[in-house]
Amino acid sequence: MQSIKHLVLGITGGIAAYKAAELTRLFVKQGISVQVVMTEAACQFITPVTMQALSGKQVYTQMWDAGIANGMPHIELSREADAILVAPASADFMAKLVQGKADDLLSTLCLARDCPLLVAPAMNKQMWEHPATQRNAQQLIADGVTLLGPDSGVQACGETGMGRMLEPEALLADLLATFQQQPLPLAGKRVLITAGPTVEQIDPVRAITNFSSGKMGYSIAEAALEMGAEVTLVSGPTALQAPAAAKTISVKSAQEMLNAVMAHVNNQDIFIGVAAVADYRPASPSDQKIKKSDSTLNIELVPNEDILAKVAALPKPPFCVGFAAESENLLEYAEQKRKRKNIPLIAANIATEALGADESTLTLLDNTGSHVLAKTSKLKLARGLLSHIAKMINN
């Protein structure tokens, strides 16, 4: 079977219709485009507006929708679809499918399709166990329809038994398994990334900063989004465009970066400190421009707090990843840094090669040893690093 990129999600009338919202969110995160079609009864349980917001596409509910190109929605909507999933599928809708009825948009679409049809039944246990529904379920299987669920458990009516719709995560897993498709490696994971330099003010017009371009951190943000993650990017000043799908917080100083990280670290699964955080800041930045004189100027510097070490020391830290840019003894210094900051993984590179460059080499150090990612673009390195992280957290 070909992989699934375009899905028509049919929603029929049942209390489980509310789960279609979460289901749509999961599909979209998986990179699947979702065209929602709702029956009239489904609109009594969840609004087309909600489904439109989550799918990012107009929701269709009627055969006679003027918005459809050639006035033949049953053809037009299924043309692009790799599959139709009806979730929840009511007992009535299953009966309609068995009979080949086509008296509304969704049933017509199912009859006119030339792609696989998957059905997730959801109903009260008596309705599910009724011989008529059981007959219909068997007939659908005989007709080549894939039945996903139902599950057993407590039902909306208060009874316990078979008939609950499968949970959205299980439906996604079943759909992907049907198409022999791997879930995205970071689907559903939250990733917090620091990127770029920090700027430590000396006076209103002068500052201490470094040559970090932010390219590595932004590439990691982009690759994490591609892999299905929800990304928060805390960035020092850069000339780069942040990926639109990331939540981006712009900061200047190390102190601001620390505050932004601590405000967003809750519920994160992964924290990747890529920023070149200034180790020191002026002890007392001047409110006024410091006047030039002939004598030596000494600026007292005090250390900045280590953001990565602080996150790693939280009672329930996310999976923490650091970067080590060294000019000598790369692996030795990087490993010392990994142990000192108490983090499971560090990515080491030669500072002079990596800073501002488009390509670089990365060596990943974890407690199994070192893994080299050969010289390539920062986006490809980011994908390699994130695949390594996904393997570590899934083990």
Residue 361 phi, psi (nearest 5): -115, 145
234 lies in the binding site for ligand C5P (CB under 6 A): no
Active site residues: 157
Nearer to ligand C5P among residue 113 and residue 281 (C-beta): 281
**Which member of 148, 322, 338, 360 binds ligand C5P (CB under 6 A)?**
322
213 lies in the binding site for ligand C5P (CB under 6 A): no
Amino acid identity, position 55:
S
| Gyration radius (Cα) of the chain, Å | 27
CA 222 to chain centre: 11
Q: Which two tokens stand for residue 226?
A: 């591609």
Q: Could you give the CA distance from residue 315 to residue 166 in angstroms, rounded to a whole number?
A: 34
275 lies in the binding site for ligand C5P (CB under 6 A): yes
**Which member of 270, 306, 335, 354 binds ligand C5P (CB under 6 A)?**
306
**Which member of 35, 55, 124, 194 binds ligand C5P (CB under 6 A)?**
194
Q: Could you give the CA distance from residue 384 to residue 362 in angstroms, rounded to a whole number?
A: 9
| Under 8 Å between Cβ of 22 and 55 | no
- DSSP secondary structure letters along 239-282: SSPPPTTSEEEE--SHHHHHHHHHHH-TT-SEEEE-SB--SEEE
The number of residues that bind ligand C5P (CB under 6 A) is 14
Nearer to ligand C5P among residue 78 and residue 194 (C-beta): 194
254 lies in the binding site for ligand C5P (CB under 6 A): yes
Scanning 25-33, 221-229, 303-311, 372-380 for contacts with ligand C5P by CB under 6 A, the matching segment is: 303-311
- The residue among 279, 202, 196 whose CA lies nearest residue 237 is 196
**Strand positions, DSSP E, 42-144:** 83-89, 117-121
**Which member of 20, 59, 171, 307 binds ligand C5P (CB under 6 A)?**
307
277 lies in the binding site for ligand C5P (CB under 6 A): yes
Q: Which two tokens stand for residue 210?
A: 């470094």
Q: What angle do CA 38, 42, 43 make, to 5 degrees?
A: 85
Nearer to ligand C5P among residue 268 and residue 304 (C-beta): 304
218 lies in the binding site for ligand C5P (CB under 6 A): no
Scanning 2-10, 48-56, 96-104, 302-310 for contacts with ligand C5P by CB under 6 A, the matching segment is: 302-310
Nearest approach in angstroms of CB 62 to ligand C5P is 54
348 lies in the binding site for ligand C5P (CB under 6 A): no
CA-CA-CA-CA torsion sign (258, 262, 264, 265): positive
Scanning 64-72, 113-121, 174-182, 270-278 for contacts with ligand C5P by CB under 6 A, the matching segment is: 270-278
323 lies in the binding site for ligand C5P (CB under 6 A): yes
Residues forming the site for ligand C5P (CB under 6 A): 194, 254, 273-275, 277, 304, 306-308, 322-324, 337
